[in-house]
């Protein structure tokens, strides 16, 4: 009865293709059409500029609290693999992925301005609304993936979540179920090093988050999350495997949140500026831009042209949003869409709110 090592089918690798100078490892460079490369760049620039504009709108009091995405724009490399029939299951820091998948900019603004319409997803795409609870959406993705397998479909469900979610029970239940039933799910953890004010080291003692896949007997890969080529390549492996019936995969995308957790907190209270500056030098947009310039797919003129285009697109979306919000939101609408017939306790709350609003209106008159 010897003591011996147990052979495991998987190991954890780290994948990086594009360095901070925009230099590419030719042996790993994914085969991506040139038009798609430029489209990915434009989407990342649009997301960065829109994020910056949203921060100004929030500071002006025109929208409420939101979670900035600055530094995490390379996530578009993953959703670029999805087909319309696939499912996108986002958390609250996947604005770039949602916009790539057809969500309008004005609808993003509507959501953070408190309008129900902001949560509406495109009718012809399988996108779930933003999930605010940490990690619950991983279970939703598994349920969708199970349904796809049950119906013998070829689609996949791609779930995004942060490093903090890996400390939640939902995450472990989702990976366990996905592996036992070999469903077509792709789990993408955006490890941005901070779960609100808690550093990654206080979230998990594991050397990597990707190695958590080993416990559930599924492929796990750590990628440079600021390298859109690596994100694309990793997601392609996972999506292709899921479509072919190979079951779930887990990707740890190592990135960094350059801004605050949400507009309700001040990151200077819990992290050092020197740390942020290190990651500014790894900016995913700058390195990708250098790569595209080197390949001749962008020029200084086209870079400036794209910047102007996205600014105009954002301005037009903001104008549409402003017109849509000229009429104040009706707080009574919060009762309209969750139930076909309201349960008694909600009927009581609805009537109470109506009486309070009527009383305020009478007082105002």
Neighbouring C-alpha atoms within 13 Å toward the C-beta of 81: 26
Q: What are phi and psi of 279, to 5 degrees?
A: -80, -25
Q: Is residue 4 part of a domain?
A: no
Same domain, 151 and 20: yes
Q: Say what the pLDDT of residue 118 is.
A: 84
Same domain, 325 and 352: no
The pLDDT of residue 328 is above 80? no
Same domain, 285 and 341: no
Same domain, 153 and 298: yes
Residue from 18, 96, 104 nearest 317 by CA: 104
Same domain, 355 and 280: no
- Strand 87-89 and strand 13-15: the pairing is unpaired
Q: What are phi and psi of 336, to 5 degrees?
A: -85, -30
Q: Say what the pLDDT of residue 122 is.
A: 75
The pLDDT of residue 10 is above 90? no
Same domain, 51 and 197: yes
Same domain, 127 and 103: yes
Write down the H helix ranges in 74-135: 76-79, 95-100, 105-112
Q: Which residues pair with 159 in a beta bridge?
A: 89, 187
Residue 189 · residue 163 · CB < 8 Å = yes
**Tokens read off for 105:** 């900019």
For 229-254, what is the mean pLDDT? 98
- Catalytically active residues, by annotation: 257, 261, 270
Range of the domain at 242: 13-329
For 224-246, what is the mean pLDDT? 98
Q: Is residue 3 part of a domain?
A: no
**pTM for the whole structure:** 0.91
Q: What is the pLDDT of residues 119-156, one digit of tens each?
A: 877 788 899 999 889 999 999 999 999 999 999 999 99
Q: Say what the pLDDT of residue 97 is.
A: 97
Band of residue 337 on the pLDDT scale cut at 50, 70, 90: confident
Band of residue 333 on the pLDDT scale cut at 50, 70, 90: confident
Neighbouring C-alpha atoms within 13 Å toward the C-beta of 195: 19
Q: Say what the pLDDT of residue 53 is.
A: 98
């Amino acid at each position: 009865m010897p003591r011996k090592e147990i052979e495991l089918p998987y190991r954890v690798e780290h994948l990086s293709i594009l360095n901070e100078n925009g230099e590419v490892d030719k042996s790993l460079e994914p085969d991506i059409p040139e038009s798609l490369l430029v489209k990915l760049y434009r989407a990342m620039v649009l997301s960065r500029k829109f994020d910056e504009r949203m921060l100004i709108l929030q500071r002006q009091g025109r929208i409420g609290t939101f979670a900035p995405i600055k530094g995490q724009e390379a996530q578009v490399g993953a959703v670029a693999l999805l087909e319309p029939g696939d499912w996108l299951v986002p958390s609250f820091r996947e604005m770039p992925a949602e916009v790539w998948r057809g969500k309008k900019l004005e609808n993003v603004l509507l959501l953070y301005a408190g309008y129900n319409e902001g949560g509406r997803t495109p009718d012809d795409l399988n996108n779930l609304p933003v999930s605010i609870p940490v990690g619950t959406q991983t279970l939703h993705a598994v349920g969708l993936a199970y349904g796809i397998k049950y119906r013998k479909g070829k689609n996949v469900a791609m779930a995004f979540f942060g490093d903090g979610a890996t400390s939640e029970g939902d995450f472990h239940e989702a990976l366990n179920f996905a592996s036992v039933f070999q469903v077509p799910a792709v789990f993408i953890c955006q490890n941005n090093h901070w779960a609100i004010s808690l550093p990654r080291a206080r979230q998990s003692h594991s050397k990597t988050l990707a190695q958590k896949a080993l416990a559930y007997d599924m492929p796990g890969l750590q990628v440079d999350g600021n390298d859109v080529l690596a994100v694309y390549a990793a997601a392609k492996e996972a999506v292709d495997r899921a479509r072919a019936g190979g079951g779930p995969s887990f990707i740890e995308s190592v990135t960094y949140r350059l801004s605050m957790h949400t507009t309700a907190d001040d990151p200077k209270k819990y992290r050092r500026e020197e740390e942020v500056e290190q990651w500014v030098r790894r900016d995913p947009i700058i390195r990708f831009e250098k790569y595209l310039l080197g390949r001749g797919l962008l020029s200084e003129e086209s870079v400036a042209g794209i910047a102007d285009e996205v600014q105009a697109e954002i301005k037009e979306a903001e104008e549409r949003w402003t017109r849509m919000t000229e009429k104040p939101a009706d707080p009574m609408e919060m009762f309209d869409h969750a139930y076909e017939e309201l349960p008694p306790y909600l009927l009581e709350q609805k009537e109470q709110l109506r009486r309070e609003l009527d009383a305020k209106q009478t007082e105002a008159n």
